[in-house]
Structure 1
Amino acid sequence: MTASISIQHVSHDFGTFRALDDINLEIEAGEYIVLLGPSGCGKTTLLSTLGGFIAPGAGSVSIGGRDMTGVAPAKRPTTTMFQDYALFPHMSLRDNVGFGPRMAGTPKAQRNAKADELLDLVGLKDAALKRPYALSGGQRQRVALARSLAVDPDVLLLDEPLGALDLKLRRAMQDELKQIQRKVGTTFVHVTHDQEEAMAIADRIVVMNGGKIEDCGPPDRIYRKPGSLFSAGFMGEMNRIKGTVRGARIETALGTISAPGGTPNGEVALCLRPEQIGTAKGDWDMGPARIIDAAFFGTHFRCHLAPEAAPEMALIAHLPPGARPEAGSMVSLSADPADLSIFEAQP
């Protein structure tokens, strides 16, 4: 089962605080959507609105073409999976997964067969008779996912489902979640504040800030060509360089480059990812810079640098693992202007 979602002009206030501000979003059936943003940005409020736990102050939500206004959570074609798995400790895994169908009146043999099928999907069929206490955190997470899918939801809502797992297990579960979503075809809407997690699993990322959607698109576009200055800064590390547009040129402390067509005159912020700054000769010669410090991350050295032309400007660059940069040494920096994201400067 799967369904599309249409969110039209949804707003919601908690007293004087505007949690959602005119949200418009179309989600295709079978998409894996991640709502990403800092605490308080509105992502969990939006998820709760989809699940029917919050009635928005304005706007509408449709699922599968059906208006959900006034439809109770239990009557919606949605299931919510929370960070706290809330498994029943006295029940076997089979009975935990089959609990939803049991409440719906499904005969025991049928619901047990369905539970075994879903436990097999998450790699735990052989553990069907175990209790939750005998499982690791990752295994309990898989059981919670199987239980959520047992009621055949059109849309699965996931609220920080991996937040309680350690880094290695979280990364493994990201891969598994994506694979399972592909197999079942259900629409997934997943809330997280972890940018890396969002990029690993999403078909599209919805970046939220202050109750609004700042950016929306595939992970690679969101990362490489963010749609707003906030999105650029929130999605991983970003170097921000001040510039002034004068006609066809952008003047910076690190040299002058051509301005893309349509760039308005005035103060701008030029954004470059650390991996987009290198030491090989490029179209934008940024001049020499002193290495302040360098840390090895396996695939690269993460370096803090002070450009000679603007020592007060702190840059971060990812240099090749064989570079062996040393603190205090000088390197010549360059970049490709095509990699730049350019935004109007903000106060």
Structure 2
Amino acid sequence: MTASVSVQNASKTFGAFTALNDVSLDINAGEFIVLLGPSGCGKTTLLSILGGFLSPTKGRISIGSRDMTNVQPAKRPTTTMFQDYALFPHMKLKDNVGFGLRMRGMAKTARDEKALGFLDLVGLKGVADKKPHELSGGQRQRVALARALAVDPDVLLLDEPLGALDLKLRRQMQDELKAIQKRVGTTFVHVTHDQEEAMAIADRIVVMNQGRIEDIGAPADIYMRPRSLFSAGFMGEVNFIPGTVVETDAASARVETALGPMTLSPSAFTTGFPIRNQAVTLCIRPEHFRRAGTDEVGLVTLGQASVTGQAFFGTHYRCHLSPLAAPQMSIVAHMPQSATVSEGEAVGLAVSALDVVVLPSQRKDA
């Protein structure tokens, strides 16, 4: 069973500190949502409010159209999976998975059968009689997931469950977690500060900052078409280039920058078409730069830049560039692994107008 979740104008204050500031969010039944942001952004506070461990200072929480704002955690159709897993060391795996069922009064034969079914779901049925200390970190994570799902929650809340794993195992578990969520169909709400993890598992990402939602959308939309400077910068490396809108018509806007003029279509302006003389910021990902002179259609030439540093990353060279027209500016660009790039070399830069996102100028942390 699964359910939709609705957060309506939720705020949470601790004395003079506002941890959550008028947040509204609708989550579809069966959706995998990731709350993403830096430490202190409010994501864990929001998860705790959904689980009933905190009450909102104001606002309303509903799950499956039922008001859950002041309902205790034990009476909510939710289960929370924490980073430390909290498995019982003296219990066998099947007893750990069946513990919640035992607390609900299910007979031993029935709960053992159900526990074995969920251990099978996570690939651990064959070691059901082992104890947690006999398992690897990844296996313990799977047991914790099986235990959380065994009680048939409408919504599973995951508080950075992969944070204690090493990089290789974390990536493996991301794939497994997503596959299991698709199989069981339960609504998942997952908290992380890891951008790569969010993009690997989420149906939609909710980017949070200073207690507010900055951006929300599918991973590709958040990365390629961000709607705030904070979201653009947090979701990966990006070059921020200041500009001014000098001319507009129904089909385009001409923006003057230190790298030269660019004519952009309305689709480049993700928060609305600008007005004349408006200060804007162009957002260009390092991988979107091209060398001038290629025959790719739609490229805008940005002039020459000097290579001030470069490092080989396997899939590409990560280059620091200083534009000759704006030597005070530093640009990061990815060049193909086959490129021959050396410090001091001058390269011509270009970018596809379709890859440029333009946002109103403001502080990145606003």
Greater than 3 Å deviation, 4+ residue runs = none
User: How far did 1:296 drift?
Assistant: 1.8
The answer for the alignment partner of 1:314 in structure 2 is 330
Shift of residue 283, structure 1, vs aligned partner: 2.5
Distance in 1 (alpha carbons) for counterparts of 2:313 and 2:66: 49
Q: Please give the residue correspondences for 1:165-244 in structure 2 after superposition, counting only pairs within 5 Å.
A: 165-244=165-244
- Which aligned pairs between 1:54-69 and structure 2 lie closer than 5 A? 54-69=54-69
Shift of 1:70: 2.0
1:275 aligns with 2:287: yes
Shift of 1:197: 0.4
Q: Which amino acid aligns with 1:254?
A: L
Instruction: For 1:167 and 1:244, locate their aligned partners in 2 and report how far apart those are by CA, in whole Å.
Output: 42
Deviations along 1:93-139, one digit per CA (max 9) or x if unpaired, are: 11111111011111111111111111111111111111111111111
Aligned residue for 2:356?
340
Shift of 1:327: 1.8
Q: Which runs of 5+ in 2 are unaligned?
A: 249-253, 267-272
Counterpart contact for 2:310–2:319, Cα < 8 Å:
yes
TM-score where L is the length of structure 2: 0.93
Find out whether 1:89 has 2:89 as its counterpart.
Answer: yes
- How far has the Cα of 1:157 moved from its partner? 0.1
**Which one-letter code corresponds to 2:344 in the other structure?**
G
Deviation at 1:331, TM superposition (A): 1.3
- How far 1:253 moved relative to its partner? 1.0
1:263 aligns with 2:274: yes
> Residue by residue, what CA displacement relative to the aligned partner does 1:252-305 show, whole Å, maximum 9, x if unpaired?
111101144432222211100111111144521111111122222222111111
Letter in 2 for 1:337: A
| Contact 2:292/2:301, CA 8 A, preserved across alignment | no
**Identity of counterpart residues, as a percentage?**
65
Structure 1: distance between partners of 2:225 and 2:193: 20
Output the amino acid matched with 2:291.
T
Give the Å deviation of 1:69: 2.4
The question of 1:149 aligning with 2:149 is answered: yes
SS of 1:23 mapped into structure 2: strand
CA distance in 1, matches of 2:166, 2:320: 28
Give the AA of the match of 1:119: L
2:337 is paired with a residue of what secondary structure?
A: coil
For 1:202 and 1:57, how far apart are their aligned partners in 2?
28
One-letter amino acid matched to 1:284: V
* 1:273 maps to amino acid: R
Q: Secondary structure at the match of 1:247?
A: strand
- Aligned-partner residue type, residue 257 of structure 1: M
> 1:129 is aligned with what amino acid?
D
Q: Deviations over 1:292-332 (max 9, x none)?
A: 22222222111111111111111111111111322222211
Please tell me whether the aligned partners of residues 100 and 147 of structure 2 are also in contact (alpha carbons under 8 angstroms). yes
Structure 2 residue matching 1:6: 3-state secondary structure = strand
Counterpart of 1:161? 161
Measure the CA separation in 1 of the matches of 2:286 and 2:189: 30
- C-alpha contact (below 8 Å) 2:246/2:255 kept by paired residues: yes
1:254 aligns with 2:259: yes
Deviations 1:22-76 (A, max 9, x none): 1111100000000001111100000000000011011100001100022110000
TM-score by length of structure 1 reads: 0.98
Counterpart of 1:101 in structure 2: which amino acid? L
Q: Is the 8 A contact 1:245 1:259 kept in 2?
A: no
2:309 to 293, 298, 301: 293
Return the alpha-carbon distance in structure 1 between the equivalents of residues 308 and 144 of structure 2: 47
